[in-house]
Each structure stands twice: as C-alpha cells, then as structure tokens.
Amino acid sequence: MTSYVVPVGENSIFRDSGALNFQQITDGMSQTILIMEACGADIAWTEPRDRLVDDYQSKISLQRNRDNNDCVISSFHQRGSTVSMADGSIPTLSHDIDPMVLKHLLTADSGEQIRDGEF
C-alpha cells in the first residue's frame, strides 16, 4: 500500500480538468500542498487513485493502527505528517494544525493568506 498521494479537488493543484501549472498556483508554492501522507487509506501503490480532499475532514489523524480513517491526511509518525509543498519543501505538519489552515494549504488559487508560523 502507498502512504503518499496527491490531493485532488476543486481548488487543489490536481483537478478533474487537469493539473495547474506553476503560474496558476497563485496562493504561493510554499503554501500549497503537492503531495501528502495518507496512511491507512488502503490505496495500492500501483493503483491510479488519489485523495479527494472534499470527501474528508480537514484535519490530520495520527494512525494508531492500519485502519482507514476519515481525515484528509494521516500518518504513523508521532510528530505529525510529512507533506511536500509545490516549492519542493517538505515540512512536517503537526496533528494539532488548525483545520482552516490545513484547508487553505490544500488549495492552490483561492486567495487565502497564511501567516508565518501557522503551520
């Protein structure tokens, strides 16, 4: 099973109509999630399926077992979940992240501003 997926949704980088190019990521490449952890999502690494962000709660789950969950991001790490931002940086997001901040990080061109230190 894979532990990494791309977020797919109406305002994410990856949409039903196709992926945005870098110039279209107007929220900022350092503030837009490109790849995220989804441990326990039961997605085979050979399967062409990613995470539809609108179908899950905007929070990060600490997976204590290998069961699927209803959170958009999940990991087996105690510190938080690893994501890759569109600029190539790889921060660890705390399980305590504000759900609204996480929702903003999952969008690419919605106009939200995230202040330094919010994630």
Mean pLDDT of the chain: 85
In a domain, 47, yes or no: yes
What letter does residue 22 receive in the DSSP assignment?
Answer: G
Rounded CA separation 71/4 (Å): 14
In a domain, 111, yes or no: no
Q: Which of helix, strand or coil describes residue 65?
A: coil
Domain that holds residue 92: 4-105
In a domain, 90, yes or no: yes
Q: What is the pLDDT of residue 68?
A: 58
Q: What is the pLDDT of residue 35?
A: 94
Q: What is the pLDDT of residue 16?
A: 84
- Over the stretch 36-77, which tens digit does the pLDDT of each residue have? 998 877 888 888 778 878 777 777 776 655 565 677 888 888
User: What domain count does the chain have?
Assistant: 1
In a domain, 113, yes or no: no
In a domain, 115, yes or no: no
In a domain, 27, yes or no: yes
- Mean pLDDT over 81-91 rounds to 95
Question: Which residue type is seen at 54?
Answer: D
The reported pTM is 0.86
Q: What is the pLDDT of residue 44?
A: 86
Q: What is the pLDDT of residue 67?
A: 60
Radius of gyration of the chain (CA): 13
